[in-house]
Amino acid sequence: MPQMPQGIVKGGKEDVKLNNQALFQTKAYINGAWVDADNKSTLKVYNKATNAVVAEVPDMGKDETARAIEAASEAFKSWSKTTAKHRHDLLLKLYQAHQENAEDLAKIIVAENGKTLAEAKGEIAYSNSFLEWFAEEATRTYGHTVPSPLPGVRNIVQTQPVGVAGLITPWNFPAAMITRKAGPALAAGCTVVIKAPAETPLSALAFCHLAEKVGFPKGAINVVTCAKGDNEAAVGKEMCENPAIKKISFTGSTRVGKILMSQSSSTLKKLSMELGGNAPFIVFEDADLDKAVEGAIACKFRGSGQTCICANRIYVQEAVKDEFCKRLAAKVDKFVVGNGMDQGTTHGPLVSEVGVNKVDEHVRESVKAGAKVLVGGKRGEGLFYEPTVLTDVPAGGPTDREETFGPLAAVYTFKTEDEVLRKANDVNVGLAGYFFSSDVARCFRVGEALQVGMVGVNTGLISQNVVPFGGVNESGFGREGGKTGIDEYLVQKLMVFGGVGN
């Protein structure tokens, strides 16, 4: 069985010790000032491994959000007129500042999210890559000319920043999801208002501290913190309905995405939504099983299974199912679960009790329907859950219906390619999909047939700063990263010149 922590839950204040303690900010950031909530109310940020309070941050609402939007709107007047080279230089300075403080930024992630230090360092590297990439993209927001069919007419198309961008970020990548949105927005000439997740607001505030230090003007970047519930709903509603916000970018559940889209309709904002998934992970009988197992480990158990592109339904062809499951279970059995700062820990806790309950429910319901537990399958102490492998999972179970978002590998069996494609595509979401095969023709055939926005072929890792990230169907629309990521924050303007020449 995976080694699980014992006696780890404790109470009391827990200090986050950093080399640069100034990164540990506990006030929101509006118009270049560090501020409390109007009514001085706060929300507690917990260490997910120990349940100790690591910080208290402002619990803000509609009014503070409106002021942040007003500040961003005022700052947009000058920021949008800066040169692309100026924005490029500032973003590269911010990138360098993040690089210099990478160790501390990773420790903040461990404290508020629960990831292991190694995973947190990986996230910081990923997060910083977007600052570097979009710094360069700032100078490549090209326009173009279009030959006119009319004599004496010249057509010029320019790109311009869309305006103030409202960025609503998730807790599972508290640093990377900010830079993946704020990087292209700032590079394009937009100003931003960020709603930080209640579970993990400290990374967003550290981002603001570094941005302030390298010279971003007041109002260009604003962060509002708030607790889940009424205030979170009020903040989101204000961002969607305030006409000064011209763009909303959201990463989160399909359910919430639909609410935000509806609320944005009154002002017809530009939207990009990266919503829920239910990723299939297919292992064909001609696959390299060792590589398939490695891919499944990387894809399923990264972040303790709390990523939107985690494998949620693992389909293995019947001829190799038993051997694949044996090798997978043996790997999972060696996991060490605990505090992310402890040496040797491979996997941390989940972020909330709601998440633990969901994993437990999926395991119990699957087993009741006939699935077999190969390893794990039980709750740990606090927010820990044993990394779990289930085999012989029957169709129609909970992992067919929704993402588990936890450390549960649910293994199904299939016979034919047509059968598994039908099952893989039998969901209303389509974010990511994966498969392993040594047949080149099958690789093209299956890759093209999967109804998802991203496909991993013989790999379980697909996220990179240089490629577009996003889904289809109810997994949302728009793309983050890659050469088109900045387009989400730009609009095209046509200028037609008449009376030119004869």
What DSSP element (H or E) covers 413?
Answer: strand 408-414
Mark whether 294 is an active-site residue. no
In the chain, DSSP finds a helix count (H) and a strand count (E) of 14, 22
Q: What angle is formed at CA 167 by the lines to CA 166 and CA 170, rounded to 5 degrees?
A: 150
Closest CA to 137 of 184, 176, 92, 99: 184
Give the CATH class of 21-275+477-491.
Answer: alpha beta
CB–CB of 351/51 below 8 Å? no
The mean pLDDT of 73-87, rounded to a whole number, is 98
The mean pLDDT of 300-318, rounded to a whole number, is 97
* Phi, psi dihedrals of residue 156, rounded to the nearest 5°: -125, 130
pLDDT band at 3 (very low <50, low <70, confident <90, very high): confident
pLDDT band at 501 (very low <50, low <70, confident <90, very high): confident
Domain spans of the chain, in order of start: 21-275+477-491, 279-471
The string over 316-355, giving b where at least 16 C-beta atoms fall within 10 Å of a residue's C-beta and e elsewhere, is bbeebbeebbebbbebbeebebbbbbeeebbbbbbbbeeb
Question: Is residue 460 scored above 90 in pLDDT?
Answer: yes
> Which residues, in sequence order, are CB contacts of 13 under 8 Å at separation 6+?
52, 53, 54
Residue 394: CB atoms within 10 Å: 12
What pLDDT, in 10s, does the model give residues 366-407?
999 999 999 999 999 999 999 999 999 999 999 999 999 999
Q: Which two tokens stand for residue 37?
A: 């909530």
State the pLDDT at residue 337: 96
State the pLDDT at residue 158: 97
**Dihedral (C-alpha) 475, 481, 486, 488: value to the nearest 10 degrees?**
0
Question: Is residue 7 scored above 90 in pLDDT?
Answer: no
The mean pLDDT of 425-429, rounded to a whole number, is 97
- Sign of the Cα torsion 112, 295, 98, 137 reads negative
How many angstroms separate the Cα of 468 from the Cα of each of 188, 385, 477?
17, 33, 11
How many angstroms separate the Cα of 171 from the Cα of each of 175, 199, 308?
9, 6, 11
The mean pLDDT of 339-352, rounded to a whole number, is 95
pLDDT band at 9 (very low <50, low <70, confident <90, very high): confident
State the pLDDT at residue 197: 98
- Considering the domain 279-471, what is its CATH architecture? 3-Layer(aba) Sandwich (3.40)
State the pLDDT at residue 5: 85
Closest CA to 475 of 493, 454, 496, 444: 454
Which amino acid, one-letter code, is at 9? V
Q: Three-state SS across 40-103? A: CCEEEEECCCCCCEEEEEECCCHHHHHHHHHHHHHHHHHHCCCCHHHHHHHHHHHHHHHHHCHH
Average predicted confidence (pLDDT) for the chain: 97
Percent of the chain with pLDDT over 90: 97
pLDDT band at 8 (very low <50, low <70, confident <90, very high): confident
- The pTM score is 0.97
Query: Which of 119, 199, 274, 488 does the annotation list as catalytic?
Result: 274
* CA atoms of 411 and 323, how far apart (whole Å): 12
State the pLDDT at residue 442: 98
Question: Is residue 12 scored above 80 in pLDDT?
Answer: no
Closest CA to 193 of 267, 249, 138, 232: 249
Q: Is 368 helix (H, G, I), strand (E, B) or coil?
A: helix
Residue 193: CB atoms within 10 Å: 30
* CA atoms of 286 and 146, how far apart (whole Å): 51
What pLDDT, in 10s, does the model give residues 151-182?
999 999 999 999 999 999 999 999 999 999 99
State the pLDDT at residue 4: 87
Q: Which two tokens stand for residue 210?
A: 């570094």
pLDDT band at 502 (very low <50, low <70, confident <90, very high): low
> Which residues, in sequence order, are CB contacts of 381 under 8 Å at separation 6+?
4, 5, 6, 7, 8, 9
